[in-house]
Amino acid sequence: MQQPLHRRRPTPGNPRVQRTRNRVLTVARELLPQVGPTGLTYALLAERADVTRQTLYRHWPNRAALLFDLILEGPDLGNYPERGSDVRTVAVDWLKSLRDGISEPAIRTAVLAITAQADHDPDSAQALVRIGQDRRAALNALLEPSGIQIDDTEHTLLYGPVLARLFLDRGQVTDEFIDTVVTQWLSTLERLRGRKLDRDQGRGQGQDRDQGQSQGQDQDRSAKSPGGFSP
């Protein structure tokens, strides 16, 4: 099964270490909605997960690293989209997976905490950037069969309305809302890429005209020179 958008594939290693890591994340996922980000201390987490604080620091040297893994290693909700050649279908399914992942209380709390801390905490700011990079890479992997790869701006234009709806409007992200977002995104994508294509073509035509003018001037000079061929 492909990994969900909000999960990274853990690095293979010592099975006992991996079991400990998974247990800690499970306990943290249960505690975070109850106590909030500031209440999720390493002392509390160590006690509840039956590990030492040193173990926690070995896996997550700071709180931002822990929240980062809570976001990207969320529970498998079983609805991760398949790779496909139809951009609309992939985008719709990807947004639904994103919506469902963020709807998980622990993931939602972790996302809001990292976002709030990013302005004054470099570790949180870096984690926020890495989350965006991870999500865009995951979406581009799904889009590979279509031949379409999106940049940072195009990625933001797709997920931005969903996050605004959830966190700013405090509203529901329905399937109809997602369909509307993707329709507008595809239209914007077409305009953006059309303008780029027009600019590229314009530069190409300008180069052709410059080259043609240059060739014409060369021919005129050749005709007027003593060795030139005059009609």
Q: Quote the CA–CA distance of 98 and 91 in Å, as a whole number.
A: 10
Alpha helices in the chain, H assignment, sequence order: 15-39, 42-49, 53-59, 63-72, 87-102, 105-117, 122-143, 152-163, 175-224
Query: Rounded CA gap, 212 and 9, in Å?
Result: 56
More confident residue, 207 or 68: 68
In the predicted model, what is the mean pLDDT of the chain? 84
pLDDT band at 219 (very low <50, low <70, confident <90, very high): very low
Buried b (16+ CB within 10 A) or exposed e, 48-72: ebebeeebbeeebeebbbbbbbbbb
Cβ(9)–Cβ(18) under 8 Å? no
Whether the per-residue pLDDT at 76 is higher than 90: the answer is no
Which is more confident, 70 or 2? 70
Q: What is the pLDDT of residue 80?
A: 86
Average pLDDT, integer, range 210-229: 45
The secondary structure of residue 153, as a DSSP letter, is: H
* Whole-angstrom Cα Rg for the chain: 26
Instruction: Give 210's pLDDT tier (boundaries 50, 70, 90).
Output: low
Task: Give 143-178 pLDDT, tens digit per residue.
Answer: 999 999 999 999 999 999 999 999 999 999 999 999
Q: pLDDT tens-digit profile of 185-202?
A: 999 999 988 876 456 555
pLDDT surpasses 90 at 11: no
- CA pseudo-torsion sign 192, 196, 201, 203: positive
Instruction: With cut-offs at 50, 70 and 90, classify the pLDDT of residue 14.
Output: confident
The predicted pLDDT at position 214 comes to 53
